[in-house]
């Protein structure tokens, strides 16, 4: 589905953007949770990488879609590992997707209100903003921890609207998670786009119900 013809940017006043997978390459996060954490967990618990991965994936699944899911302090306690320190170790893998900065510069030039809305923990947001310097493009950034709910829940959007003051009818939201997009649509956000290429190293997954982009240049004139 052609995104440019579907999204009338001139009618949009507010742009809400997800961080991981949308603006930043999700390879960092996938590598971290699927390789580095199981490796360290296996060492700590004197088990094999395979068994560690199996055990961890069960734990991940159990907390998916909750505030615990992206709470690195929770995972530090749960796994008895220093998660923030491990993230710091591989911070060189944090990369911005192509044309993201060009898109953000264009939005600023067009005087749009630009907000970051993320499920990421505020410590992770801080780490990634320091590494990428993307923070300067946003009017505000909010996390699910601040709102008290993950983006998968309508309560997140109620609180986000009060905090940021966007108008649903004039808002564009871009995210790489279909479940979150469905909640945003249910809440009444008018323009919704699925960022299909979340991890640069794996094949993109297309959301059936939403207009998608692979690259932000598709939204630029």
Walk across the sheet containing 211-213 and list its strands: 140-143, 113-118, 14-17, 171-175, 191-195, 211-213
* Mean pLDDT for the stretch of residues 20-37: 98
The string of pLDDT tens digits covering residues 139-157 is 999 999 999 999 999 999 9
The string of pLDDT tens digits covering residues 149-198 is 999 999 999 999 999 999 999 999 999 999 999 999 999 999 999 999 99
> DSSP assignment of 64-96, as one string?
TTSGGGG-HHHHHHHHTS-HHHHHHHTGGG--B
The domain over range 3-25+95-219 is classified in CATH as 2.40.10.120 = no
Of 62-71, 91-100, 109-118, 165-174, the least confident: 62-71
Q: Where are the domains of the chain?
A: 3-25+95-219, 28-92
CB proximity list for 16: less than 8 A, separation 6 or greater: 115, 116, 117, 160, 164, 166, 171, 172, 173, 174, 184, 189
Show the beta-strand stretches assigned E in 119-209.
140-143, 171-175, 191-195
């Amino acid at each position: 589905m052609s995104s440019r013809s579907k999204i009338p940017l001139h009618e949009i006043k507010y742009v809400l953007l997800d961080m991981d997978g949308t603006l930043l390459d999700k390879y960092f996060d996938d590598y971290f949770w699927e390789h580095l954490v199981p490796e360290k967990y296996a060492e700590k618990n004197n088990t094999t990488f395979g068994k560690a991965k199996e055990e961890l994936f069960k734990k991940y699944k159990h907390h998916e879609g909750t505030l615990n899911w992206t709470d690195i302090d929770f995972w530090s306690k749960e796994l008895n590992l220093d998660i923030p320190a491990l993230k710091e170790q591989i911070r060189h893998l944090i990369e911005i997707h192509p044309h993201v900065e060009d898109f953000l510069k264009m939005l600023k030039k067009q005087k749009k209100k630009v907000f970051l809305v993320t499920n990421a923990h505020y410590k992770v947001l801080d780490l990634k903003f320091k590494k990428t310097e993307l923070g300067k493009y946003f009017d505000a950034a909010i996390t699910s921890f601040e709102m008290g709910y993950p983006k998968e829940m309508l309560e997140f959007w109620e609180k986000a609207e009060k905090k940021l003051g966007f108008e649903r009818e004039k808002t564009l939201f871009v995210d790489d998670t279909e479940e979150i997009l469905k909640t945003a649509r249910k809440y009444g956000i008018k323009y919704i786009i699925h960022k299909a290429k979340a991890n640069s190293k794996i094949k993109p997954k297309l959301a059936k119900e939403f207009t998608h982009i692979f690259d932000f240049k598709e939204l630029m004139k």
